[in-house]
């Protein structure tokens, strides 16, 4: 439940990146022993990957304050299977494939289906593993991968897929010989994964560029690694300040990870100051229209798109936002319309005619960023907004309502029983 709150003030600690930590947890499978991860956010997706690792025979314990201890057994004690129950909860579970194939020479994974915003195939992952010498078969909705031992090869990605790059990288570090990944994803989270793998003894060059070279090593050692800050979480708080106005310090947020977004947000009318400790965002809540296209990193990420559209819904003028990664990522637009946004979609474009205020409504979060975008919209919506499907937000945001409330937002979490008329309350 959100009511308009006026400007936001204060400081918020940006937590560890969801899209990094899930891969780092999977990467621990590559080395026997005790791994330590720090700055791990307390979010549902982390709990699901922890459960997935446990079912593979790994021990995962949460030691408090973002410290997670992962104990990986010898190869013969690892069970390289990921069940439908877990894979269907979190698509990112596909990233256990690379490490399990590399470590155990086989893997069994429930086929990840579509997602909250459309079809998300894994053909690039499979093509990459096949180039390294794995073979695959399918039965009863499960994928079976086998290899006599992975061998380095040249992998050319048709598109710089983020998790395909992570997955192939993790498979390649223990493969025999040299692997080159061409048209690799360049996201900061790929660099974070490569840094952790290098600290474990992997030989990787070029992470963060389109060409990653890996020289396989026979064995890796356990990791002790700090997760990078979550740039999408930082952008979410930034969007909240942009629409509500105020001055908020995003402690830990890294300007070098979100340069293109910061440029766009500045052109919308938000004043940004960067310091080594984080990013200061100031806004009078008076925003200007701007056109935006989503692209792989270093372009403006698709994960920011619902937040950008929400900001532009209350900006002065008409904007066009083009979504170039996921065709189905506009489901929340209908919910923004219920809140009075003057907005329509045309193929992979959304046209937004800004209005000064929105109005409270009963709306439904369809995915993680859509959910948080509706929370942001509700900060400038007259009356009360009831957002259901909050479980999507909890996938990647730690106690979002408490942290927004600490900045002055009027927001509370109610249980399903407290809310009326909602079929699906997260």
Ligand X SMILES: C=C(OP(=O)(O)O)C(=O)O
With CB atoms as reference, the residue minimizing the distance to ligand X is 303
Could you say which residues in the range 395-414 bind ligand X, by CB under 6 A? 396
Q: How far apart are CA 373 and CA 358, in angstroms?
A: 13
CA distances from 414 to 237, 355, 384, 401, 426 (A): 21, 29, 13, 11, 10
DSSP H or E segment with residue 34: strand 33-38
- Pick one of ligand UD1, ligand X, none as the site partner of residue 81 (Cβ within 5 to 8 A by kind): none
Number of Cα atoms under 13 Å in the Cβ half of residue 325? 20
Could you say which residues in the range 147-186 bind ligand UD1, by CB under 6 A? 159, 161-164
CB of 64 to ligand X, least distance (A): 25
Q: How far apart are CA 143 and CA 161, in angstroms?
A: 20
- Pick one of ligand X, ligand UD1, none as the site partner of residue 377 (Cβ within 5 to 8 A by kind): none
Q: Which of 2, 12, 14, 22 lies at the binding interface for ligand UD1 (CB under 6 A)?
A: 22
Q: Which residues contact 65 (CB under 8 A, 6 or more apart)?
A: none
CB of 415 to ligand X, least distance (A): 25
Could you say which residues in the range 301-360 bind ligand UD1, by CB under 6 A? 301-303, 325-326
For residue 170, give the nearest of 280, 50, 16, 27 by alpha carbon: 27
Q: Which of 42, 108, 115, 384 lies at the binding interface for ligand X (CB under 6 A)?
A: 115
171: tokens are 């498979």
Q: How far apart are CA 41 and CA 25, in angstroms?
A: 12
Q: How far apart are CA 228 and CA 16, in angstroms?
A: 6
CB 162 within 8 A of CB 91: no
Q: Which residues are annotated as a binding site for UDP-N-acetyl-alpha-D-glucosamine?
A: 91, 303, 325
State yes or no: is 115 an active-site residue. Answer: yes
Q: Is 245 in the site for ligand X (CB under 6 A)?
A: no
- The mark string for 358-387 relative to ligand X (x by CB under 6 A, - otherwise) is ----------xx------------------
Q: Is 235 in the site for ligand X (CB under 6 A)?
A: no
Piece of 35-43, 53-61, 76-84, 118-126 that binds ligand UD1 (CB under 6 A) = 118-126
- Please give the residue ranges that form the binding site for ligand UD1 (CB under 6 A): 19, 22, 92, 120-125, 159, 161-164, 301-303, 325-326
Residues designated catalytic: 115
């Amino acid at each position: 439940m959100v009511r308009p709150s006026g400007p936001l003030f204060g400081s918020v600690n940006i937590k560890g990146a969801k899209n990094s930590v899930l891969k780092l947890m999977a990467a621990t499978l590559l080395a026997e022993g005790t791994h330590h991860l720090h700055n791990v956010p307390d979010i549902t997706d982390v709990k699901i990957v922890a459960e997935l690792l446990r079912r593979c025979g790994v021990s995962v314990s949460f030691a408090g304050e973002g410290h997670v201890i992962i104990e990986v057994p010898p190869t013969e004690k690892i069970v390289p299977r990921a069940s439908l129950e877990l894979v269907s909860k979190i698509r990112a579970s596909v990233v256990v494939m690379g490490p399990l194939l590399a470590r155990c020479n086989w893997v069994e994974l429930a086929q990840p289906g579509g997602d909250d915003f459309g079809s998300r195939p894994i053909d690039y992952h499979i093509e990459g593993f096949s180039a390294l010498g794995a073979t695959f078969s399918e039965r009863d909705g499960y994928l079976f991968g086998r290899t006599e031992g992975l061998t380095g090869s040249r992998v050319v990605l048709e598109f710089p897929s983020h998790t395909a790059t992570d997955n192939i990288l993790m498979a390649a570090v223990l493969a025999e010989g040299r692997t080159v990944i061409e048209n690799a994803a360049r996201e900061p989270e790929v660099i974070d994964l490569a840094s952790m793998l290098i600290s474990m003894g992997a030989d990787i060059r070029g992470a963060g560029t389109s060409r990653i070279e890996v020289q396989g090593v026979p064995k890796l050692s356990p990791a002790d690694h700090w997760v990078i800050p979550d740039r999408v979480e930082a952008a979410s708080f930034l969007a909240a300040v942009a629409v509500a106005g105020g001055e908020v310090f995003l402690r830990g947020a890294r300007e070098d990870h979100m340069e293109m977004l910061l440029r766009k947000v500045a052109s919308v009318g938000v004043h940004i100051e960067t310091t080594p400790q984080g990013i200061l965002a100031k806004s009078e809540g008076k925003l200007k229209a701007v056109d935006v296209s989503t692209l792989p990193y270093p372009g403006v990420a698709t994960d920011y798109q619902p937040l950008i559209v929400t900001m532009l819904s209350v900006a002065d003028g008409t904007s066009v936002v083009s979504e170039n990664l996921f065709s189905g990522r506009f489901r929340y637009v209908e919910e923004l319309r219920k809140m009075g946004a003057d907005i329509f979609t045309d193929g992979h474009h959304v046209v937004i005619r800004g209005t000064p205020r929105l109005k409270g409504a009963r709306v439904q979060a369809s995915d993680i960023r859509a959910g948080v975008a509706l929370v942001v919209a509700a900060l400038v919506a007259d009356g009360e907004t009831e957002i259901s499907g909050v479980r999507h937000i909890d996938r990647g945001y730690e106690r979002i309502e408490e942290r927004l409330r600490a900045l002055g937002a009027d927001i509370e979490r109610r249980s399903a029983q407290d809310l009326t008329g909602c079929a699906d309350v997260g």
